[in-house]
Amino acid sequence: MVKNLFVLFSLFLTIQFCSAQDKKFGIIGGANYSTLVGDVNDTDFINIQRRLSFHLGLFAEVGISQKFTFSPRLLFSSQGLRSEGNISAFRNFDQIIVGIEEFESIERANYLNIPLFFNFNFAKEVGLNFGPQLGFLINTSTITKIENSDGSTEKDKFSVNGDFKLDYGVALGLLYNFSEDLFVELNYYQGISNISRNPDIRFENKNNNSVFQLSVGYVLL
């Protein structure tokens, strides 16, 4: 139900944008600082950390009133998380600990995101961003490095393509206009949809995207 409302609202905003007259177009990009929040944080032996990555894409802006604008974007966004921890290595059958295996893991999740921002300019240079966001998962990859108790090291990579899961949530942030053509933003996105959902599993994990974004935008047209 929530997903359908997000899609319908997004279509409505897109139609409104196409019929508007006062428009701007430009490029936008910057840094992501992402993780997942939910069941992934409940594991004692794994330390979950945010991953530093990037986003890049296009934006448009249409004036609604003197202080309000509507700004849809189309972004490639690399998200995910980092994790580290240790796993006890047991001797077979008698379950006696014979060593500790330490691991580091980087989980990349690449999305095609469509933020639909409203901008409220409460001062000449300073404004507020808020609005919904849709995201389509393009692919994921996990790189894991394991240091065994005997000193040896293993490295493994696992990738999944073509999953195309839908992510949706809300974003809020601040923007600063250096000029009519150049601005910087700091936004926070909180996912609402469960990106770990699996219809084949009865008791599935529940995790949501959590992303801080620092962006720089430049008006081209």
Which tens digits make up the pLDDT trace of 157-193?
Answer: 888 776 678 999 999 999 999 999 999 999 999 999 9
Residue with tokens 């992510």: 167
DSSP SS3 for 86:
strand
Which tens digits make up the pLDDT trace of 13-66?
Answer: 555 555 555 789 999 999 999 999 988 877 767 888 999 999 999 999 998 888
Ramachandran angles phi, psi of 11, nearest 5°: -65, -40
Q: Can you tell me the mean pLDDT for 215-221?
A: 96
Ramachandran angles phi, psi of 106, nearest 5°: -120, 120
CA 69 centroid distance within chain: 24
C-alpha 83/C-alpha 46 separation (Å) is 6
Q: In the chain, where are the structural domains located?
A: 2-219
Radius of gyration in angstroms for the set of CA atoms belonging to the chain, rounded to a whole number: 21
pTM for the full model?
Answer: 0.84
Look up the CATH architecture of domain 2-219.
Answer: Beta Barrel (2.40)
- Single-letter code of the amino acid located at 220: L
**Comparing C-alpha atoms, which of 155, 152, 134 is closest to residue 144?**
155
